[in-house]
A and B are shown apart, each in its own frame.
Chain A
Amino acid sequence: MGLNFQEGRPIGLTRALLVAALAASVVLMTLYSNEGEQGPLHAVQSGAHAVLAPLGVAGSSAGALAEDAGAAAADSAASEETLTALRERNAELTQLLTQSEEYRLEAERLQGLLGLKETYQIDGVSGRVIGRSTDAWNQTVTIDVGSADGVESGLTVVGPSGVVGQVISVQPGSATVRLLSDPQSGAAAIIQSSRAEGIVRGSLSGQLTLQNLEANAEAKVGDVVLTSGLGGSYVKGLLIGTIVRIEGSAGDGSRTIYVSPNESTGALEEVMVVFDATGADVTPRQSGSSSSAASSARSSADALSDDDAGQDDAGDEG
């Protein structure tokens, strides 16, 4: 006897279920793609994120528990004789040291956030990262502050040393942040030295590229890139990163400019949601040849803003 199958239900019912499931999937996809960020299906997805947020915390705890279990397993493998009082004391001290090192690192990160807050005179609320994207196609994090703390969709999110991303959905106790490195992210940006304006976009690989720059706009490796505030999607004047590589040369329409983000999102633990940043005003100078680039970037930024209805909330801040 080879494979043994038992057809449990009539073929007609199976076909009907298959057609219904396929139709439902296609209808859902179409509706989801055509509705805005504030649409009902997005709201349902956002609600699901709120429900799943505690599981993200459980996941973080599970990681710590796994480490503890590993240590416990190592201890149990040692012979009884070697487990002297001195070693126990040593273990306690090691644990204390580890804990204090953890506190020190956390204090450093918070100090960075505080420094950024003072530098840019940021009015905002800080939160912890409690979850990360569960799929390979989106780069998002969940933070433990939400609408109850004043967080709204579209607000800019910064880490200890620069822009991290933007809030895309909020729940009462948590919010989802789309990272700048996500392929669907786009931030209106300005090169600090030349004042050339463009759009910083993410990619699947996580690399940031500066696009929509005028062909002859001046850009060189090491230039600092800031948010320009055009389109109202991001608060202006916040640090995005520095140019690390330029493929092609000025005047070349296919020039690709790579930007290294100042903020590493991989180890991101604490962030700040920016309500307003009065000290981050870097009004772009517009003269001569840069005006058309500014206009080009502005129209792109406006398009970005239109695409993402959730960004409207941040519109007043630009």
Chain B
Amino acid sequence: MEHRSLIITVVCAILAVLLQAILAPFMVIGPAVPNFILAFVIANAVARPTGGIVAPFVLGLLYDLMGNGPLGAMALVCVVFSFACSRLLMMLNNDTLFIPIVLIVAGTFLGDAVYGILMIACGMDVGALEALVGRALPCGLYDTVLALIMFPLLARLGAMGSAPLRIR
């Protein structure tokens, strides 16, 4: 079952990378560009909390390689927020749908905001307010929608793997 779970994660991760590389530039809405990778990482962390942090790190690094931002920034965001979301979910141990949704919303919004802060810290010459309100907020909204779409699919796929999230 563990092997099967790994395969599911790898296949979904490859799909997220392909969507980011091929479709994301054509799915721009205003200032928001979808981040399939962050959405997948957060949704996967909530749907299958024992998934580990290797996949988020690798996916984040691939995102950094695809774009023109600093290498390691999205990797850091993905690792921190996937770990935080999965551990919070386990700590709260709540069997309602409310907690996973709250974690997904918070994870994606904060993930985009922290990425923006990292971009500024690495030398991007923009104001913090402009970055957070003008870019991180709309991107966070877009990614939240994507993650909320991915979450039930991943939870269902997770039920075939080793570490399912069961919600009554």
A207 to B80, CA, bound (A): 33
Q: DSSP class of B's interface residues: helix, strand, loop or mixed?
A: helix
Task: State which of B26-34, B102-110, B144-152 sits at the interface with chain A.
Answer: B26-34
Candidates B31, B63, B166; contact of A1 at CB < 8 Å: B166
A135 contacts B163, C-beta separation under 8 Å: no
Residues facing B in A123-139 (CB within 8 A) are: 131-138
**Closest A residue by C-beta to B34:** A136
Contacts of B119 in A (CB 8 A): 137
Is residue A62 within 8 Å, beta carbon to beta carbon, of the partner chain?
yes
Is residue B8 within 8 Å, beta carbon to beta carbon, of the partner chain?
no
B50 contacts A8, C-beta separation under 8 Å: yes
Contacts of A286 in B (CB 8 A): none
Contacts of A49 in B (CB 8 A): 66
Known A-B contacts A14-B52, A137-B135; the reply to A183 vs B70 at CB < 8 A is no
**Closest B residue by C-beta to A27:** B72
Known A-B contacts A24-B75, A59-B25, A176-B68; the reply to A3 vs B18 at CB < 8 A is no
B65 contacts A48, C-beta separation under 8 Å: yes
A5 to B46, CA, bound (A): 11
Residues facing A in B70-84 (CB within 8 A) are: 70-73, 75-76, 79-80, 83
Is residue B22 within 8 Å, beta carbon to beta carbon, of the partner chain?
yes
A33 contacts B52, C-beta separation under 8 Å: no
Candidates B25, B52, B63; contact of A17 at CB < 8 Å: B52
B33 contacts A135, C-beta separation under 8 Å: yes
A45 contacts B122, C-beta separation under 8 Å: no
B71 contacts A18, C-beta separation under 8 Å: no
A203 contacts B126, C-beta separation under 8 Å: yes
**Closest B residue by C-beta to A33:** B122
Residues facing A in B117-135 (CB within 8 A) are: 118-119, 122-126, 130-131, 134-135
Candidates B53, B64, B95, B135; contact of A14 at CB < 8 Å: B53
Contacts of B65 in A (CB 8 A): 44-45, 48
Is residue B21 within 8 Å, beta carbon to beta carbon, of the partner chain?
yes
Is residue A178 within 8 Å, beta carbon to beta carbon, of the partner chain?
yes
Known A-B contacts A52-B66, A133-B68, A137-B135; the reply to A29 vs B76 at CB < 8 A is yes
Is residue B57 within 8 Å, beta carbon to beta carbon, of the partner chain?
yes
Contacts of B126 in A (CB 8 A): 183, 203-204
Contacts of A25 in B (CB 8 A): 57, 60, 72-73, 75-76, 79
- Distance of A112 from chain B, by nearest CB (Å): 24
Contacts of B63 in A (CB 8 A): 134-135
A29 contacts B72, C-beta separation under 8 Å: yes
Question: Chain A: residues with CB nearer than 8 A to chain B?
Answer: 1-9, 14, 17-18, 21-22, 24-29, 31-33, 41, 44-45, 48-49, 52, 55-56, 58-59, 62-63, 131-138, 140, 168, 176, 178, 183-184, 201, 203-205
A-B residue pairs in contact (CB < 8 Å), sample of 25 = A2-B93, A2-B166, A2-B167, A3-B166, A8-B52, A17-B54, A18-B53, A18-B83, A21-B54, A28-B71, A29-B70, A29-B71, A33-B122, A41-B71, A45-B68, A131-B25, A132-B25, A132-B26, A134-B21, A134-B33, A134-B66, A136-B139, A168-B68, A204-B31, A204-B134
10 further A-B contacts with Cβ under 8 Å, apart from A44-B65, A134-B63, are: A1-B166, A24-B75, A25-B73, A27-B72, A28-B75, A29-B72, A32-B122, A63-B26, A135-B33, A205-B130
| Minimum-distance CB pairs A-B, first 6 | A2-B95, A28-B72, A25-B76, A48-B65, A132-B25, A136-B33
